[in-house]
Amino acid sequence: MAQRQRFGDSDAGRVALVATELATNILKHGKGGETLVGPYGEGPDSGIELIALDKGPGISNVAASMADGYSTAGTAGKGLGAVSRQSHFVEVASWPGAGTAVLARLKPGQPDGSIDASRIGAVSVAKPGEGVCGDS
């Protein structure tokens, strides 16, 4: 996906790091789930977005979980902080007992702390057993 979006090696590495951290969180905390990866936007406001969806217990304190050193699994606790540092935009939604959703958007170039204005998006996923989604 990074190559198709014309990301250079360094930026592709940031995408790989974010994807790895999100997938690791699904495995360690999420009791299963999935990561969706695709392009977003057009022109200079375009890039790659990753959406991690899990079926875990949820995050009781999202703000604390974003800080380095916070861990409920005995790890270094730098995963979501790394996702935030490497992404141009991150949003976390969590529901106790129902799971967590994380959206991370990356563009070429280092994040500079500015706000990503493209806050609207949609996901179409095929029903179980179907090859494509009919909602396109």
Predicted confidence (pLDDT) at residue 123 exceeds the cutoff of 90: no
Q: Is residue 56 part of a domain?
A: yes
For the record, the structure tokens of 18 come out as: 């974010």
List, for residues 19-70, the tens digit of each pLDDT value: 999 999 999 888 889 999 999 988 878 899 999 999 999 988 888 888 877 7
Task: Tell me whether residue 3 is in a domain.
Answer: no
Residue 120, pLDDT > 70, answer no
Stretch 95-121: mean pLDDT: 80
As for how many domains the chain has, the answer is 1
In a domain, 128, yes or no: no
When pLDDT is averaged across residues 4-8 and rounded to a whole number, the result is 93
In a domain, residue 18? The reply is yes
Instruction: Answer yes or no: is 1 within a domain.
Output: no
Q: What is the pLDDT of residue 116?
A: 56
Place 126 in a pLDDT band, splitting at 50, 70 and 90.
confident
pLDDT of 15 reads 97
Which pLDDT score is estimated for 83? Answer: 94
Torsion of CA 12, 73, 68, 22, to 10 degrees: 20
Does some domain include residue 14? yes
Q: Are 88 and 39 in contact (CB under 8 A)?
A: no
pLDDT-based confidence at residue 121 (cuts at 50, 70, 90): low
CATH number at residue 13: 3.30.565.10
Share of the chain residues as helix, strand and coil, in percent rounded to the nearest 5: 25, 25, 50
With respect to residue 99, please indicate whether it lies within any of the assigned structural domains: yes
Residue 94 has pLDDT above 60, yes or no: yes
In a domain, 123, yes or no: no
Q: Name the token pair of 54.
A: 């899990």
Q: What's the domain range around 86?
A: 9-106
